[in-house]
Amino acid sequence: MEVLIVPEHKIGELVADDVSGLIAERPDAVLGLATGSSPLRIYDALARRVSEGVLSLQQTKGFTLDEYVGLAEGHPCRYSTVIQSELVRRVDMPSHSVRGPDGGASNLHDECRNFENAIADAGGVDLQILGIGSDGHIAFNEPGSSLASRTRVKTLTEQTRRDNARFFGGDIDAVPRHCLTQGLGTISEARHIVLVATGHEKSEAVAQLVEGAVSARWPATVLQHHPRVTVYVDEAAASRLILADYYRYTHAHRRLVG
Ligand code: F6R
C-alpha cells in the first residue's frame, strides 16, 4: 500500500494524473467510480482536462459502487443521478457507458447478480476510485461485512445515515436504511485501487485501513491484501498514522529501483 500525505487541494489533480496515465495506455479502460464528496475534486480535474482537449473518456466504461434502495428514478441523491451530473455530463463519456446497481429493481438479488456479470463482461475494473466512511466502510460495506462479499443488499449503520444526511437536507429520516453495494471481494478484484480521504473525521478509519489489523470490524482493511493500492490523504486524515513520518520519507526519496 502506497500512502501519500499531500495537501487536500492537490489530491484531485494527482488522481486525475493516475487516470490520465491509464487512459494513455488503454483508451477503453474500465473505471470504478465512487460517489459522495471525496471524489468531487477528481471529477473536476477530469472535466477540466476533457474540456481542454488533453484527455478523452469517450471509450471508457464506468461502474459505480453502490446505490440506495427505494429512491425514485431521477432523485437527486440517487447515485445514478449523482454520477451523471458530477462526472458523465461534464466529460465526453456516453451516458449509457456508466452502470451502477439499480436500487429500484423489482428483484434486488437478481440485480446484484446481473451487476456482477456486467463488471465481469467488461473485463473487470482497471482503476477503482474509493472514498472511505468514518466507520471504515468502502462502498457501503459496513462493519461486519464479509471480506469476501459480493454485490448484495446491505443495511446502513446509523453513523453512515447521519454522515450522509447532509446530502438529504440534513434530514436523517430521509436517508434510506438499505442499499445495494459491491462487496469487498468485488472491489478487491480491481487491478489498481486509489482511495482518497480528507479531514479529521476520517483519521481513525485511515489509521485502521493502513496500520490496523485486518478485520471485518474495519472493512477497508481488506485492502491490505491487495497488491496495488494508492492512498491519498491530507494531514488531517493522516493525523493518527503512527508511521506518517516514514510515509513522508518514502515519498520524498521515491525513485525507481532496479
Ligand atoms: C460512495 C461510497 C462511500 C463513500 C464514503 C465516503 O459511493 O461508496 O463509501 O465513499 O461514504 O463518503 P464521502 O466521500 O462523502 O465522505
Substitution site in 137, 175, 180, 233 for ligand 1 pocket (most atoms within 8 Å of beta carbon): 137
Task: Supply the pLDDT for residue 220.
Answer: 98
Task: Supply the pLDDT for residue 226.
Answer: 98
Neighbouring CB atoms inside 10 A of 208's CB total 21
194: part of which helix (H) or strand (E)? Answer: strand 192-197
Q: Tell me the pLDDT of the chain averaged across its residues.
A: 97
Backbone angles phi, psi at 176, to 5 degrees: -55, 155
Sorting pLDDT into bands at 50, 70 and 90, what band is 257?
Answer: low
Residues near ligand 1 with C-beta < 6 Å? 34-38, 65-66, 79, 131-133, 137-140
Which grid coordinates belong to 80? 445514478
> How far is 212 from 253, CA to CA, in rounded Å?
25
Cα–chain-centroid distance for residue 184?
A: 12
Task: Supply the pLDDT for residue 252.
Answer: 86
Mean pLDDT of 132-139: 96
Sorting pLDDT into bands at 50, 70 and 90, what band is 256?
Answer: low
- Calculate ∠ Cα 122-125-127, nearest 5°: 145
Mean pLDDT of 184-191: 98
Task: Supply the pLDDT for residue 242.
Answer: 98
Task: Supply the pLDDT for residue 254.
Answer: 78
What is the per-residue pLDDT across 51-73, written as a single tens digit (0 to 9) for each?
999 999 999 999 999 999 999 99
Neighbouring CB atoms inside 10 A of 25's CB total 8
Query: Does residue 24 surpass a pLDDT of 60?
Result: yes
Q: Whose CA is nearest to atom 8 of ligand 1?
A: 139
Query: Does residue 123 surpass a pLDDT of 80?
Result: yes
Mean pLDDT of 206-222: 98
Distance (angstroms) between ligand 1 centre and the Cα of 220 equals 12
199 in the Ramachandran plot: left (φ > 0), alpha (ψ -120 to 50) or beta? left
Mean pLDDT of 115-126: 98
Query: Does residue 179 surpass a pLDDT of 90?
Result: yes
> How far is 99 from 4, CA to CA, in rounded Å?
30
Kindly tell me the sign of the dihedral angle through the C-alpha atoms of 218, 222, 225, 230. negative
Cβ-proximal residues to 156 (8 Å cutoff; 6+ apart), any chain = 140, 142, 164, 175, 176, 177, 178, 179
Distance (angstroms) between ligand 1 centre and the Cα of 48 equals 23
- Calculate ∠ Cα 124-144-111, nearest 5°: 40
> How far is 151 from 144, CA to CA, in rounded Å?
15
> How far is 258 from 251, CA to CA, in rounded Å?
17
Question: What is the identity of the amino acid at 75?
Answer: H
Task: Supply the pLDDT for residue 253.
Answer: 86
Q: Whose CA is nearest to atom 3 of ligand 1?
A: 139
Mean pLDDT of 208-215: 98
Which grid coordinates belong to 160? 453512515
Domains delineated in the chain: 2-253 (3.40.50.1360)
